[in-house]
Structure 1
Amino acid sequence: MEIVDVAVIGGGQSGLAAAHALRHYGLTPVVLEASERPTGSWPHYYDSLTLFSPARYSALPGMPVPGDPDRYPRRDEVVDYLLRYAAALDADIRTGVRVTEVREAGGAYEVGSVGGGRVAARAVIAATGSFGRPYRPQLPGLAGFEGELLHAADYATPEPFVGRRVVVVGAGNSAVQIAAELARHSRVTLAIKAPVKFARQRVLGRDLHAWLAATRLDTAPLGRFLRRPPRQPVLDDGRYRAALAAGAPEQRPMFTAVDGTKVTWPDGAVEAVDTIVLATGYRPDLPYLRPLGALDADGRPLHREGLSIVRPRLAYLGLEWQRSLSSNTLRGVGVDAARVARRLAGELAGRCRPQ
């Protein structure tokens, strides 16, 4: 069986940042990516997705995003950037390899996969993100909805929904962005449990991320103090607040019942709905770690700031609030990757030094 220093599971932004950091500490990573390109989930997000952070704050370590540093890159620009980043890495990136299980094997880890056989790894970094595990809350009557029910992970463009009655569930960035886009073609309601919270995109003439970077709040280790991730505000340059104020989309408290294709609102109003879109986020997608007992009953990793508390030399990258506000973003995962790589290098050799 092939023996490697570190198996990095997932070849998206987190896995690529991990490979970069591991090489810096003299380790030889093997990146195992399920898709045919090392771009993670980015190609599967909706077509119009736009970063809320400018290009200058949206890069992985060692390679800036090309072009105007103050623009807000679109989805396809991020995909192209990740491909260039992967091509420039001095790392073994294996695509078309879906990891199915990780088991303990004589002080190392045996990594089993479809498309890549089995490898023995001295350490493992789980960097598969969460896109493969959309969160679908148990809302009243939703299981019996007879219209079209989909998650934001399944949404691409507004064209299939033209003229339809649509309810988007959620109050975060993706929910508001999708609802506002659909509202230009359909009648749309944003169903919320709490009012949408907005944060200004620009403060005193500068993008909010400039202030977060200057104050280091973006990468401050605040995650250790949180029992649960706080609800993130919607970053807005004014367009989304104006759209909601104009009723396109409208906001309503969460429906109280669903009967067939009819939705009942808290005020007693009942109406037919064609489509419900759940923009309700994701959960860590780590089923391959179950043989290690590394997850809790809900499939969440047992860790402290990205380092497993139940297994040595097992680490995570790209978790929401893993360590900081920006842990699961392009702009912040590199900081976490450097810390995890340094700790693993120390555990593996005790003598690894930056190259």
Structure 2
Amino acid sequence: MTRLVDVVVVGGGQAGLAAGYHLRRRGLDFVVLDAGAEPGGSWRHMWDSLHLFSPAEHSSLPGRLMPAQPGRTYPDAGHVVEYLTDYGKRYALPVQHGTRVDAVHRDGDRLLVETDSGTWRARAVISATGTWSRPFLPAVPGRDVFTGRQLHTVDYRRPADFAGLGSVIVVGGGNSGAQIAADLALEGDVDVRWVTRRPPRFLPDDIDGRALFDVATARRRALDAGRGDTGGVASLGDIVAVSPVRAARDAGLLKASPMAVRVDRHGVVRADGTRAEADAIIWCTGFRPALSHLAPLRLRGTRGRIATEGTRAVDEPRLHLLGYGDWTGPASATLIGVGRPARNAVREIAALWARS
């Protein structure tokens, strides 16, 4: 059976919910299809010690302030899950959990959305699948011969899971690498070695998510106005110095070694030929946008990215991409940052229908 709807939103995490809020305000007929069995998006799968970079009041979706978490300035992931769950209920957003979208096709004046539980025909699609379901593992020679445990950021939960191991190598110089290395160094009973491609760049200790959002927004406005690139957040550093990272760094527990050039059976080998043995390697090496459902539209360029103007796909104006990072809106992969591009996407969809 094929169901008709104005808009299909693919993904029910923070970006999908923000889109749903603005679609509801416009009075449009829409559905949010989410592969997860429960609300919360990727926040439901984060490691135990993770918390936000910003206080609750600066980490909110449109229309509903996140309440403070008792005893915490920076809420943890569980609190975010509770907030997102309440948000969907508060605005009666039609989220269908446990529904995987397999493909989006053109179908005349509509887009055909194929799922594992049926088909939808929509006048527009908002893709808000994020990146968590597509972890990136670098093609480091020898990675397949390592005899110890190998994990990605998505698999890490807590230091206790590594009890009894002698040493762990954490690979990656971004926020997840620094936070997981600090978590293990402060709470675990293992020898932690942190490996990065370049020396880690910590942001000033007083900078949190509020400042990062302002910097990202200022960069986007400068670019849109034809002014020079301010460099954005990258000009300040790569790692937010949240309290556990500061504690591990100041205690001398968070020292980075140069990136490995290959992996062998028992550890990693650096460019100078020195080795570091390990019982486990955690690859904190980032993610890629989860866009396989859009492959039938044939929109990807030579570098794999879909060309966009704002959130709208250049070669398919009925498609908007939301929440994948700065290329779909400044800070759009954050809770506070996704609201504005979500509003703009819905506004453009309504304007397109008005013109046609």
**What TM-score does the superposition give when structure 2 sets the normalisation length?**
0.89
Structure 2 residue 280 is the aligned partner of structure 1 residue 268: no
Shift of 1:334: 0.4
Mapping of residues 165-244 of structure 1, within 5 Å: 165-184=167-186, 185=188, 186-202=190-206, 209=210, 213=214, 217=218, 220=221, 222=223, 231=234, 233-237=238-242, 239-244=244-249
Match of 1:336 in 2: 341
Shift of 1:16: 0.3
Deviations 1:1-41, CA, capped at 9 Å, x for gaps: 21100000000000000011122223222100111223211
Shift of 1:297: 5.2
Change (3 A) 1:202 1:316: same
Q: Secondary structure at the match of 2:273?
A: coil
Q: Secondary structure at the match of 1:41?
A: helix
Deviations 1:259-311, CA, capped at 9 Å, x for gaps: 21132233432232111111111100011110111223554323222110111
Structure 1 gaps of 5+ residues are: none
Mapping of residues 11-26 of structure 1, within 5 Å: 11-26=12-27
Contact 1:287/1:299, CA 8 A, preserved across alignment = no
Q: Secondary structure at the match of 1:110?
A: strand
Contact 1:17/1:60, CA 8 A, preserved across alignment = yes
Shift of 1:239: 4.9
Match of 1:327 in 2: 332
Quick one: distance in 2 between partners of 1:324 and 1:221?
13
Change (3 A) 1:254 1:43: same
Q: Secondary structure at the match of 2:173?
A: coil
Contact 2:216/2:330, CA 8 A, preserved across alignment = no
Quick one: distance in 1 between partners of 2:274 and 2:142?
16
Paired residue for 2:96, among 82, 91, 94? 94
Structure 2 residue 259 is the aligned partner of structure 1 residue 254: yes
Q: Aligned letter for 2:140? A: L
Quick one: distance in 1 between partners of 2:20 and 2:329?
20
Contact 1:125/1:317, CA 8 A, preserved across alignment = yes
Mapping of residues 125-164 of structure 1, within 5 Å: 125-162=126-163, 163-164=165-166
Match of 1:38 in 2: 39
Aligned length: 346
Change (3 A) 1:37 1:219: farther
Contact 2:37/2:97, CA 8 A, preserved across alignment = yes
Quick one: distance in 2 between partners of 1:106 and 1:233?
45
Q: Aligned letter for 2:354? A: A
Quick one: distance in 2 between partners of 1:211 and 1:298?
27
Q: Secondary structure at the match of 2:327?
A: coil
Quick one: distance in 2 between partners of 1:333 and 1:123?
19
Quick one: distance in 1 between partners of 2:127 and 2:173?
29
Quick one: distance in 1 between partners of 2:249 and 2:185?
10
- Structure 1, 292-301 or 142-151: larger mean CA deviation: 292-301
- Structure 1, 37-46 or 125-134: larger mean CA deviation: 37-46
Paired residue for 1:284, among 281, 289, 297? 289
Q: Aligned letter for 2:60? A: A
**What TM-score does the superposition give when structure 1 sets the normalisation length?**
0.89
Q: Secondary structure at the match of 2:123?
A: strand
Q: Which has the higher helix share?
A: 2
- CA RMSD in angstroms, aligned pairs only: 2.7
Deviations 1:30-84, CA, capped at 9 Å, x for gaps: 1001112232111111111111111111000000011269821100000000000
Quick one: distance in 2 between partners of 1:252 and 1:300?
32
Structure 2 gaps of 5+ residues are: none
Report percent identity of matched pairs. 38
